[in-house]
Amino acid sequence: MRKFIICTFLVLTSCQFAFAQHPSLLFTQEEVNEIRAEKGNVPAFDKTLSETLDAADAALKSPISVPAPIDGGGGVVHEQHKSNYYAMFHCGIAYQLTGEKKYATYVADMLEAYAKLYPTLGFHPLHLSPVPGRLFWQTLNESVWLVHTSIAYDCIYNTLSSKQRIAIEKNLFVPMADFIMNGMGDNHANNKAFNKMHNHATWATAAVGMIGFAMNRQDYVRKALYGSDETGQKGGFIRQMDYLFSPDGYFTEGAYYQRYAIWPFVIFAQCIEHRMPELAIFKYRNSILSKALSTLIQLSYEGEFFHINDALQKGLSAQELVYAVDILYNADPSDKSLLSVAKQYQQTYLPAIGGFRVARDIKRGESTPVIYRSSVFHDGRKGDQGGIAVIRSRDPKLNSALTLKATSHGLSHGHFDKLTIAYYDNGNEILTDYGASRFLNIEAKDEGRYTQENQSFAKQTIAHNTLVVDETSDFNGDIKQSSLYHSDIIYNDFTKSNFQVIVAKDTNAYPGIEMKRTLAYVTTSFLQFPLILDVLQVNADKKHQYDYPLWYNGHFVSLNLPYTKAINELKTLGAKNGYQHLWLEAWGQNKSSHTSRFTFFNKNRFYTISTATTPQTELKMLRLGANDPDYNLRDEAAFLVREKGKKDHTFATSIETHGNYDVVRETSSNLISSCEEVKVIIDTVSYTAVKATYKGGHSVLLCLCNIDNNKEKTHSLSIEGINYTWSGRCGIFMK
Amino acid sequence: MRKFIICTFLVLTSCQFAFAQHPSLLFTQEEVNEIRAEKGNVPAFDKTLSETLDAADAALKSPISVPAPIDGGGGVVHEQHKSNYYAMFHCGIAYQLTGEKKYATYVADMLEAYAKLYPTLGFHPLHLSPVPGRLFWQTLNESVWLVHTSIAYDCIYNTLSSKQRIAIEKNLFVPMADFIMNGMGDNHANNKAFNKMHNHATWATAAVGMIGFAMNRQDYVRKALYGSDETGQKGGFIRQMDYLFSPDGYFTEGAYYQRYAIWPFVIFAQCIEHRMPELAIFKYRNSILSKALSTLIQLSYEGEFFHINDALQKGLSAQELVYAVDILYNADPSDKSLLSVAKQYQQTYLPAIGGFRVARDIKRGESTPVIYRSSVFHDGRKGDQGGIAVIRSRDPKLNSALTLKATSHGLSHGHFDKLTIAYYDNGNEILTDYGASRFLNIEAKDEGRYTQENQSFAKQTIAHNTLVVDETSDFNGDIKQSSLYHSDIIYNDFTKSNFQVIVAKDTNAYPGIEMKRTLAYVTTSFLQFPLILDVLQVNADKKHQYDYPLWYNGHFVSLNLPYTKAINELKTLGAKNGYQHLWLEAWGQNKSSHTSRFTFFNKNRFYTISTATTPQTELKMLRLGANDPDYNLRDEAAFLVREKGKKDHTFATSIETHGNYDVVRETSSNLISSCEEVKVIIDTVSYTAVKATYKGGHSVLLCLCNIDNNKEKTHSLSIEGINYTWSGRCGIFMK
């Protein structure tokens, strides 16, 4: 904190960029000169430049259209205003790249049209947002508009007469910045939002700060950096850099929103670096922005972000990541793996100096592969609110990832998914996380906003691969309660050669219940691929019904128990908390074996879930889609293990990846699971031991100390006449 | 036929390859020398060679295992025998490539092991096939085994002592060839199969002919070429070349099986070319094998074969196509587009001279793109049994394909799908054909064979995008009846710049019913993408219920009518003929408009089906999966239009492709259909006119003469006070 105060002081006194050159936001004149001079030397970047020019030329061809606001995301007018800011952005840059006046004129004309429209606008006619905009249905989009337009304005600033500037600033930028900062009339929602520690506020401060730089309004810049009270004690961009990322660079809403959140951070930071280099913004808080980018990359699989919380299918190719990679690589070119992110997933560049240098250094052959490492990413500003753990296969050719989530709630985009797991393998999501129910930008689908099934299903606990108690969600689905607590990653060991392990714990999600989950990724000498052992321990003060669902992505192959399949009629599994959306497709009990086995396949590989059950255990196959009047839910399927009337219970599961299925050659091998038995051998307060037995007399014994996380501490257990000794919470023994 | 007889005579007298060099099947000594000499010059082919050597080395590392037969496709022993013939094939070639004796020894040892096992074998213990094998559950696999092993034997022939040869031939090859040709004991199923005009017979004749070449047994070669009676009048490979392809190179079972069928054709043809060049086998019947390959390529989309009949997901990357492309390119290197098939979809080569030359000519830059052309591929030996029509977008960037199937039944793999359509766009299958219900090589799924749902659903008419009368399938699902008839492509016009059209007709599928289907692909000035108009006309001698289903691949967006969605309970639509597998998910009637509209999206594009309806028309949304006790059906969805109590009826439908949905940029446009109305304006015996109206006062008027296919003939109709005149069966007018 001391550092922060000093820095604030320094800035408050030196925030004096008296003579402002243009351009000086996205790039400086020197950088433009470098880009121009290097034309022809880096073909990949030339392509970006010509795409930018093409986009600008395409804009020039269509008449300027600045219609009165009328609709929401995906609507024609909404999309027009969106395409307008891109048009101005591209034309602004095109002007700098070519010096051709027509691009500048186009931006000027459009700005003048906006300057005529804007003063006539009240609040947007769609009253959908608690923070309504004027040009868009929510202020957030207005901030995004202004971020892009600030850059365009900066690019063409020198081409405008002072009369033009005065008109545009007075009628458009000043009232818009004031509106974003303070709201309008009696509605001060914007002022609250502007000063919040929230990613919408990052857009708001970036918008106000950037137009402040462009107009040379120091007061706007100060408010953007330090909040509308200019103290830095309540709001502002600098404080957001302190609050919105954990020390590990994790953003509490999860990777999908971290992608969105990082965009205004890097773009405003780039402008700050140009105009106020004395702030050394990219080095701020141990280079927190670079750390955030590297965490984002680590939270992806095959270039797509893990689907935790309200996630849709986006990843390293998203435009936000292009900005982040190019700007942050330019700020610190030491991390050469950023080049391979750009090369593999983006293949497009920011038309600015960072984009040029990334393309150039790729061409120079400097890129190094991203190393995906098993890691724990802590949540919370101080890193003390749980976290998400990721286990990666050490051999990148295996290309597997396992996640265990034990974070805080994750604000409004969080799900009730304490200790949920997901499994990615062979390029595919295998044990899945539904993510969000939303059809972004599809107006016919709830105007592109979250659908009601996001609340009624996607956020509920049953939508996740974790324990559901008595068919209710964590914290009874109450976000206020959930936001008070967090789970914890209480143990991890990624150092052993043949196994990696993480343990998470939660004591708040259900009253009177403690749950612990141990996830071990084990390399054996006898199985084709590494094995996953999942031990989910529940201890309660009274009896409950426990559901253990695994949502799987693949086609059903076999179940080793007699089951009844719904033939002519399908009914729902339950009536609320997400259960109303589940069709009960098949059900059965395993009376002949204490291990229930389910096999499915995805592409050319097979997966077998083998889990310890009793003849009383109910096994169910579920399909999503009931109570979905508007066809908002995707088709997904789950395997569910139900234990009734249990106080303490340990779910012990072997997740075996096996088989080769070569469609081109029409050959197949190892399509049958090797797992013969999964058994909880010891389960006391102090120790739990799970043994999974495989064909050929092989077995994996996982020994857990339930009460001590000390890695040096030695434990021993006598099992089946043999003494097993290990150090730390988890020991593994293979035969 | 005259030509054939002369040819036969020529061969019967000259079938005298008295001195046989080895190798001389897959390649000659001269070709091996060329391949060896060019090593290092064509890296892509060097990779194939090193993969072949790797496969051979891998084989050498595992002990020879020749177990007694016990299981079916996908089973351990079945797969062992399969991997054995690949091992011998690779080692045989490896020996020729390197001269290293170890490879030859391995083949010899394995052949000796087989020579010990084979005489002990009765029929395969699994009695699953009407044509059972000894080593495999069906003789077909035994033929495939022998095709590969013949090549291996030819490769190492010169390394064997005559004692070894005698033992191997006497105990293994001769009895196996005799078995394939004649059967065993009282079971002569093989003899019938060997002489049939069927692709299994192609494998059988190739196997017998190739081992005949390898053993220098002219009698075997003669029987392979001209049937077991050696006359060429009933069976044999030459006659198969006359009978199994239509003059257009179409194989009646469809592309998926054509892929499989072409393999033994090209491999045996290659051997014949080497040993009996006087037959000019590759030029036979106007180079029918090359024509068959080019038709196969045309019957694919994005490298995957259209899913008609019993198709699974395979395409141009299949190993059969690698053989076909490499062997046929070598036979006639004038079609340079084969190089781009190899380059784009295969990237692997046959380790023989054809593979080398394909790789070399790709390296030389000789490949030209495949031009996918709108075409009619006629079915039937003489091309007189209907056909399949394909419309392709003229601009390859549009990347669309439309199919209309009006073939004969297609033997045992045919479906009851007269006049079914499919639509491919933007790289995806949009209006789908289910193909087959089968999990090839997955033993847990009916031993990898067709599942019962292939019969109960996949083959039934309701599984296709075509008319279903009274909830029964074409020909009441009777293959014998269906095999007596064929539909017809009665008209096509691919010459106009702004529209392409095909018309098909069937008069046999349902007694007393004539159906005609006109499919027009129209390029307008006012729609974003080309439009499809589908006019399905039914004329009957009495009243029926007509179902018009469209199976779609995408997510439901909207329906322009009030509908009830099944919320807590799902029931089936019907009880038989495939209907028992359909969950009735939603239903409604459109009382407020005479055009019913359904929009769905797939990836970044939208599709709207607009169809002329009345307030009585029943509209239903269906989902596949009922009555599927073993989880064999895939999850698919359909939109169904039901007309009850109609004698004559015309289904008129606009299929509009629209919208851009850019996930990376988060922009969208044109997500709402432009279609305002679809109306049947005139519907008489002689003429039908359908008008589809679009936003902005635009319309497309499709005028059909129902009784005259003459392309020169002029027609005119007066509609809404305007006189429309056109030539040929179909005219189109746009406003």
Asked whether the beta carbons of residue B631 and residue A599 sit closer than 8 angstroms, the reply is no
Q: Are residues A335 and A442 in the same domain?
A: no
Instruction: Note the pLDDT of residue B15.
Output: 45
Instruction: Note the pLDDT of residue B293.
Output: 98
Q: Are residues A343 and A379 in the same domain?
A: no
* 3-state helix/strand/coil string of B81-137: HHHHHHHHHHHHHHHHHHCCHHHHHHHHHHHHHHHHHHHHCCCCCCCCCCCCCCCCC
Q: Are residues B639 and B622 in the same domain?
A: yes
Instruction: Note the pLDDT of residue A44.
Output: 96
- Whether B626 has its CB under 8 Å from any CB of chain A: the answer is yes
Question: Cβ contacts (< 8 Å) between A81 and chain B: which residues?
Answer: none
Nearest CA in chain A to B635: A635
Residue B239 belongs to what H/E stretch? helix B237-243
A162 falls within a domain:
yes
Distances (CA, A) of A661 to A426, A658, B83, B490: 13, 10, 13, 43
Asked whether the beta carbons of residue A665 and residue B319 sit closer than 8 angstroms, the reply is yes
**Interval B217-244 mean pLDDT:** 97
- Whether A182 has its CB under 8 Å from any CB of chain B: the answer is no
- Whether A666 has its CB under 8 Å from any CB of chain B: the answer is yes
Residue B491 belongs to what H/E stretch? strand B488-493
Query: How many Cβ contacts (< 8 angstroms) between chains A and B?
Result: 131
- In this predicted structure, the answer to whether residue B531 has a pLDDT above a threshold of 70 is yes
- Whether A65 has its CB under 8 Å from any CB of chain B: the answer is no
Question: Cβ contacts (< 8 Å) between A439 and chain B: which residues?
Answer: 555, 557
The dihedral built from the CA positions of residue A612, A615, A617 and A618, taken in this order, carries a sign that is: positive
Instruction: Note the pLDDT of residue A72.
Output: 87
Asked whether the beta carbons of residue A631 and residue B443 sit closer than 8 angstroms, the reply is no
Instruction: Note the pLDDT of residue B9.
Output: 39
CB neighbours (10 Å) of residue A187?
14
Instruction: Note the pLDDT of residue B623.
Output: 98
Q: How far apart are CA A282 and CA A636, in angstroms?
A: 43
Question: Cβ contacts (< 8 Å) between B319 and chain A: which residues?
Answer: 664-665
Asked whether the beta carbons of residue A631 and residue B661 sit closer than 8 angstroms, the reply is no
Instruction: Note the pLDDT of residue A664.
Output: 72
Give the domain CATH number at A501. 2.70.98.70
Nearest CA in chain B to A603: B313
Nearest CA in chain B to A633: B555
Model pLDDT for residues A357-389, shown as the tens digit of each residue = 999 999 999 999 999 999 999 999 999 999 999
Which one of B440, B568, B586 has the shortest CB-CB distance to A666?
A: B440
Instruction: Note the pLDDT of residue A124.
Output: 96
Q: Are residues A516 and A578 in the same domain?
A: yes
- Whether A672 has its CB under 8 Å from any CB of chain B: the answer is yes
- The token pair that represents A468 in the structure block: 């559901």
- Give the domain-ending residue among B208, B228, B244: B244
Instruction: Note the pLDDT of residue B4.
Output: 41
Question: Cβ contacts (< 8 Å) between B555 and chain A: which residues?
Answer: 439, 631, 634
Best of A561, A584, A604, A631 to disrupt the B interface (most B CBs within 10 Å) is A631
Q: Are residues B238 and B273 in the same domain?
A: no
By annotation, the residues of B acting in catalysis are 257, 413
- In this predicted structure, the answer to whether residue B720 has a pLDDT above a threshold of 50 is yes
Asked whether the beta carbons of residue B556 and residue A82 sit closer than 8 angstroms, the reply is no
A253 falls within a domain:
no
Which residue in A296, A290, A314 sits closest to A258, CA to CA?
A296
Q: Are residues B345 and B392 in the same domain?
A: no
Give the domain CATH number at B65. 1.50.10.100
A251 falls within a domain:
no
By annotation, the residues of A acting in catalysis are 257, 413
Which residue in B612, B628, B635, B439 sits closest to B552, CA to CA?
B635
- Whether A9 has its CB under 8 Å from any CB of chain B: the answer is no
Model pLDDT for residues A12-65, shown as the tens digit of each residue = 434 445 457 999 999 999 999 999 999 999 999 999 999 999 999 999 999 999
Instruction: Note the pLDDT of residue B144.
Output: 97
Which residue in B557, B563, B554, B567 sits closest to B638, CA to CA?
B554
- Whether B259 has its CB under 8 Å from any CB of chain A: the answer is no
Best of A319, A555, A571 to disrupt the B interface (most B CBs within 10 Å) is A555
A731 CA to centre of own chain: 32
pTM above 0.90, yes or no: yes
Q: Are residues A355 and A386 in the same domain?
A: no
- The token pair that represents B644 in the structure block: 């009850």
Model pLDDT for residues B13-70, shown as the tens digit of each residue = 344 454 579 999 999 999 999 999 999 999 999 999 999 999 999 999 999 999 999 9
- In this predicted structure, the answer to whether residue B2 has a pLDDT above a threshold of 70 is no
- In this predicted structure, the answer to whether residue B357 has a pLDDT above a threshold of 70 is yes
Asked whether the beta carbons of residue B441 and residue A629 sit closer than 8 angstroms, the reply is no
Contact indicator for B419, B487 with CB cutoff of 8 Å: yes
Instruction: Note the pLDDT of residue B20.
Output: 75
- In this predicted structure, the answer to whether residue B381 has a pLDDT above a threshold of 60 is yes
Q: How far apart are CA B1 and CA B7, in angstroms?
A: 10
Best of A664, A665, A667 to disrupt the B interface (most B CBs within 10 Å) is A664
DSSP state of B459: T
- Whether B79 has its CB under 8 Å from any CB of chain A: the answer is yes
Which residue in B680, B683, B658 sits closest to B671, CA to CA?
B658
Q: Are residues B25 and B59 in the same domain?
A: yes
A263 falls within a domain:
no
**Interval B322-350 mean pLDDT:** 97
Nearest CA in chain B to A625: B567
Asked whether the beta carbons of residue A440 and residue B663 sit closer than 8 angstroms, the reply is yes
- Structurally, chain A folds into a number of domains equal to 3
Which one of A79, A556, A669 has the shortest CB-CB distance to B631?
A: A556
Question: Cβ contacts (< 8 Å) between B630 and chain A: which residues?
Answer: 565
What percent of chain B lies above the pLDDT cut of 90? 93
Nearest CA in chain A to B76: A669
Instruction: Note the pLDDT of residue A441.
Output: 84
Q: Are residues A591 and A610 in the same domain?
A: yes
Instruction: Note the pLDDT of residue A368.
Output: 98
Q: How far apart are CA A108 and CA A172, in angstroms?
A: 12
Q: Are residues A335 and A390 in the same domain?
A: no
Q: Are residues B444 and B589 in the same domain?
A: yes
Which one of A441, A583, A585 has the shortest CB-CB distance to B661?
A: A441
Asked whether the beta carbons of residue A667 and residue B583 sit closer than 8 angstroms, the reply is no
What percent of chain B lies above the pLDDT cut of 70? 97
Model pLDDT for residues B240-264, shown as the tens digit of each residue = 999 999 999 999 999 999 999 999 9
- Give the domain-ending residue among B371, B403, B421: B371
- The token pair that represents A514 in the structure block: 């403690």
Asked whether the beta carbons of residue A634 and residue B555 sit closer than 8 angstroms, the reply is yes
Which one of B74, B86, B626 has the shortest CB-CB distance to A668?
A: B74
Q: Are residues B295 and B443 in the same domain?
A: no
- In this predicted structure, the answer to whether residue B670 has a pLDDT above a threshold of 70 is yes
Which residues of chain A, if any, have pLDDT below 50? 1-16, 18
Distances (CA, A) of A539 to A501, A512, A684, B70: 21, 8, 11, 49
Asked whether the beta carbons of residue A442 and residue B557 sit closer than 8 angstroms, the reply is yes
Strands of B531-540's sheet in order across: B488-493, B499-506, B513-522, B531-540, B649-658, B605-612, B595-602, B555-559
Instruction: Note the pLDDT of residue B134.
Output: 97
Owner of token pair 């070519």 = A98
Which residue in A253, A260, A380, A244 sits closest to A309, CA to CA?
A253
Domain that holds residue A317: 278-371
Buried b / exposed e across A574-588, counting CB within 10 Å, b at 16+?
A: beebbbbbbbbbbbb
Model pLDDT for residues B167-224, shown as the tens digit of each residue = 999 999 999 999 999 999 999 999 999 999 998 999 999 999 999 999 999 999 999 9
- Give the domain-ending residue among A350, A371, A392: A371
Asked whether the beta carbons of residue A558 and residue B444 sit closer than 8 angstroms, the reply is yes
ipTM for this model: 0.91
Long-range contacts of B221-228 (CB under 8 A, 24+ apart): B221/B15, B221/B17, B221/B275, B222/B12, B222/B15, B223/B181, B224/B268, B225/B11, B225/B15, B225/B272, B226/B8, B226/B11, B226/B12, B227/B194, B227/B195, B228/B181, B228/B182, B228/B191, B228/B194, B228/B195
CB neighbour list of residue B705: distance below 8 Å, 6 or more residues apart: B686, B687, B713, B715, B728, B729, B730
